[in-house]
Chain A
Amino acid sequence: DIQMTQSPASLSASVGDRVTITCQASQDISRYLNWYQQRPGKAPKLLIYDASILETGVPSRFSGSGSGTDFTLTISSLQPEDFATYYCQQYDHLQGTFGGGTKVDIK
């Protein structure tokens, strides 16, 4: 099975900061990589698919990059509504494994 490892598990940041979250796959997953945001008590929300394609309606301060085994989610200027937990997910047509999550909270 493909394992997805996110780092860090948590981080503290201030409004306006640039934030980077990484996700590593245990084997080559090409660009089958999604990113989700989950606010407390809410269902996850799709941010990025195909490693770097922004879902409709997602602010342009979010960006994704990578291919193969190493991927990155970047928030260019953190906003108050961005304090949440972020998950990566590899999703080929067989399995949809999630990473362990990265909690972004207020410094």
Chain B
Amino acid sequence: QVTLKESGPVLVKPTETLTLTCTVSGFSLSNVRMGVSWIRQPPGKALEWLAHIFSNDEKSYSTSLESRLDISKDTSKSQVFLTMTNMDPADTATYYCARIFVSYCSIGNCYSADHWGQGALVSVSS
């Protein structure tokens, strides 16, 4: 059974750095057909993709947030980490991690988030 669980602070202050951990089970972070993404959702608003990391350590970031984000993993501990610097109240959101499955599709490889964590609400306030 595939599971993902986000953990981290519930409340951070403006200008602080947020570090979130995604602990996965039921699959390996060394699997070449799998990766992990971070996605966030401000209260009442749409989903926003933040970053992903794959088994070969290939990383990609949202263009608008790239300067503030860093994604990394510890394969031996089945954990993926996201750090976001210079937090602002506008960063208040539920942060999700999700497994990215690389499928063989009509166009070659395609990527989808097939399993999600329950989400972690992070509030930014002084």
Give A residues with C-beta under 8 Å from B. Answer: 1, 30-32, 34, 36, 38, 43-46, 49-50, 53, 55, 87, 89, 91-101
B92 within 8 A of partner (CB): no
Q: Are B107 and A43 in touch, CB under 8 angstroms? A: no
Interface centre among B47, B49, B63, B112 (most CB of A within 10 A): B112
* Nearest chain B residue, comparing its CB with the CB of A46: B114
Bound Cα distance A71, B105 (Å): 17
- Please report whether the interface of chain A is mostly helix, strand, loop or mixed according to DSSP: loop
Give B residues with C-beta under 8 Å from A. Answer: 37, 39, 46-49, 52, 58, 60, 62-64, 96, 98, 100, 103, 105-107, 109-114, 116-119
* Nearest chain B residue, comparing its CB with the CB of A97: B49
Q: Are B117 and A32 in touch, CB under 8 angstroms? A: no
Q: Which chain B residues lie closer than 8 Å to A93 at the CB level? A: 58, 60, 109, 111
Bound Cα distance A45, B118 (Å): 11
